[in-house]
Amino acid sequence: MNINEAIESRISVRAYIDKPVTNDTINKILDVARWSPSGTNTQPWKVAVVQGSTKQTITDGLLNAVNNKIPPNPDYQYYPESWVEPFKSRRFQCGMDLYEALDIGREDKEKRLEAGLANYRFFGAPVTLFFFIDKDMGKGSWVDMGMFIQNVMLAAREHGLGTCPQASTSDYPDLVRKALNVPDQFSLICGVALGYPDDSEPVNQYRTQREEASSFTTWFD
């Protein structure tokens, strides 16, 4: 698979088949992604590969927190406190497209809630990768982490795997850190579901919209 194809065919996969991903395959993905750029070669990434009973423990903990209405306590603010255009409309359209793919009506609050909880089950993926960064590092290193995570997702495409980056799984970082015995010194950025996509599911067949390059690019001579 060439680079353009990997980028253009990548989607947030929300349904997976029941097929394990070998540790060797995961290691190959991370071994490629380690060549990602980072300021002064600091390589700020820390990754936890989570499977089996450990993943289930985290899922149970996250679902318990949500169902008991425990307030999220993420290590950072992902979204703005108030939405402005054009981001507000894009966010709304993204949600509508997802619910349409899941065949969930606008008034079906129960199914919408269940769709949200699927995040904490990692959409049935056999593997979750949790990405951490040392709290001593600055915003530039978070940029580095973004490039690293993207490279992980693109490298997964080479092996026929799908991914879904999940900021929602960082809502309760203390719970995740405790389950993985990760020191408080490390901020939890996100989890990424990893597995073989179930292409028969409609949720994996829709695509979110993208603006043309001309809409966000200014040329200077």
Compute the mean pLDDT over every residue in the chain, rounded to the nearest whole number: 95
How many Å apart are CA 154 and CA 32, to the nearest integer?
Answer: 10
Write the Ramachandran bin of 128: left for phi over 0, alpha for psi from -120 to 50, otherwise beta.
beta
How many Å apart are CA 65 and CA 171, to the nearest integer?
Answer: 10
Q: What is the pLDDT of residues 186-207, one digit of tens each?
A: 999 999 999 999 999 999 998 9
Q: What is the mean pLDDT of residues 72-99?
A: 94
Q: What is the pLDDT of residues 111-167, one digit of tens each?
A: 888 888 999 999 999 999 999 999 999 999 999 999 999 999 999 999 999 999 999
Instruction: Please report, as a single letter, which amino acid is at residue 146.
Output: G
Q: What is the pLDDT of residues 50-81, one digit of tens each?
A: 999 999 999 999 999 999 999 999 999 999 99
Confidence of residue 110 (pLDDT cuts 50, 70, 90): confident
Residue burial 85-120, b: 16+ Cβ < 10 Å; e: rest:
eeeeeeeeeeeeebbebbebeeeeeeebeebeebbb
Report the CATH superfamily, name and number, of domain 3-78+120-209. NADH Oxidase (3.40.109.10)
pLDDT at site 100: 87
Q: Where are the domains of the chain?
A: 3-78+120-209
pLDDT at site 111: 86
pLDDT at site 99: 86
Confidence of residue 103 (pLDDT cuts 50, 70, 90): confident
Is pLDDT above 90 for 171? yes
> Is the pTM here over 0.85, yes or no?
yes
